Amino acid sequence: MTADPAQKDLSKTAYDHLWMHFTRMSSYENSPVPTIVKGEGTYIWDDKGRKYIDGLAGLFVVQAGHGRTELAEVAAKQAKELAFFPIWSYAHPKAVELAERLANYAPGDLNKVFFSTGGGEAVETAWKLAKQYFKLIGKPTKYKVISRAIAYHGTPQGALSITGLPGLKAPFEPLVPGTHKAPNTNIYRAPHYLEGPDGTVDPEAYGRWCADQVEEAILFEGPETVAAVFVEPVQNAGGCFPPPPGYFQRLREICDRHDVLLVSDEVICAFGRLGTMFGADKFGYVPDMITCAKGMTSGYSPIGATIISDRIAEPFYKGDNTFLHGYTFAGHPVSSAVALANLDIFEREGLNQHVLDNESAFLGTLSKLRDLPIVGDVRGNGYFYGIELVKDKVTKETFNDEETERVLYGFLSKALFDNGLYCRADDRGDPVVQLAPPLISDQSTFDEIEQILRTSLTDAWAKL
Query: What's 162's domain CATH number?
Result: 3.40.640.10
| Last residue in a domain, options 324, 349, 374 | 349
110/398 Cα distance (integer angstroms): 42
Q: Are residues 81 and 172 in the same domain?
A: yes
SS3 for 388?
Answer: strand
Q: Are residues 371 and 438 in the same domain?
A: yes
317/310 Cα distance (integer angstroms): 10
Give the model confidence (pLDDT) of 194-225 as tens digits: 999 998 999 999 999 999 999 999 999 999 99
Q: Are residues 159 and 269 in the same domain?
A: yes
Residue 313 pLDDT > 60, yes or no? Answer: yes
Count the neighbouring beta carbons within 10 Å of the beta carbon of residue 130: 26
Q: Are residues 103 and 209 in the same domain?
A: yes
Q: Are residues 39 and 147 in the same domain?
A: no
Q: Are residues 345 and 422 in the same domain?
A: no
| Last residue in a domain, options 307, 324, 349 | 349
Segment 387-399 mean pLDDT: 96
Segment 236-251 mean pLDDT: 97
Q: Are residues 223 and 344 in the same domain?
A: yes
359/57 Cα distance (integer angstroms): 16
Give the model confidence (pLDDT) of 45-85 as tens digits: 999 999 999 999 999 999 999 999 999 999 999 999 999 99
Q: Are residues 58 and 100 in the same domain?
A: no
Residue 106 pLDDT > 90, yes or no? Answer: yes
User: How many structural domains comprise the chain?
Assistant: 2
Q: Under 8 Å CB-to-CB from 44, ≥6 apart: which residues?
A: 36, 38, 51, 52, 54, 66, 422
Q: Give the count of alpha carbons within 13 A of 335, CB side only.
A: 22
Is 24 inside any structural domain?
no
Residue 231 pLDDT > 70, yes or no? Answer: yes
pLDDT at 5 (0 to 100): 54
Is 383 inside any structural domain?
yes
Bigger pLDDT: 10 vs 351: 351
Angle separating helix axes 333-349 and 69-81, nearest 10 degrees: 150
Q: Give the count of alpha carbons within 13 A of 445, CB side only.
A: 25
CA distances from 170 to 25, 46, 205, 430 (A): 19, 34, 34, 19
Is 20 inside any structural domain?
no
Q: Are residues 323 and 175 in the same domain?
A: yes
Instruction: Compute the mean pLDDT over every residue in the chain, rounded to the nearest whole number.
Output: 96
| Last residue in a domain, options 305, 326, 349 | 349
What is the CATH classification number for the domain harbouring 397? 3.90.1150.10
Segment 146-153 mean pLDDT: 97
Residue 83 DSSP code: -
Closest by CA position to 185, among listed 222, 234, 115: 234
Q: Are residues 339 and 367 in the same domain?
A: no
Residue 7 pLDDT > 80, yes or no? Answer: no
Per the structure, the complete domain to which residue 56 belongs is given by 34-67+351-462
Give the Cα-Cα-Cα angle 39, 44, 50 (nearest 5 degrees).
130
192/190 Cα distance (integer angstroms): 6
Is 10 inside any structural domain?
no
Is 372 inside any structural domain?
yes
Decide if 196 contacts 202 (C-beta within 8 A): yes
Q: Is pTM, for the whole model, over 0.75?
A: yes
Q: Are residues 52 and 165 in the same domain?
A: no
Residue 405 pLDDT > 60, yes or no? Answer: yes
Is 18 inside any structural domain?
no
The residue type at 287 = P
Is 4 inside any structural domain?
no
Is 2 inside any structural domain?
no
Taking the mean position of all CA atoms in its chain, how far away is CA 294? 8
Residue 4 pLDDT > 80, yes or no? Answer: no
Q: Are residues 343 and 364 in the same domain?
A: no
Give the Cα-Cα-Cα angle 103, 93, 352 (nearest 5 degrees).
40
**CA distance between the termini of the chain:** 50
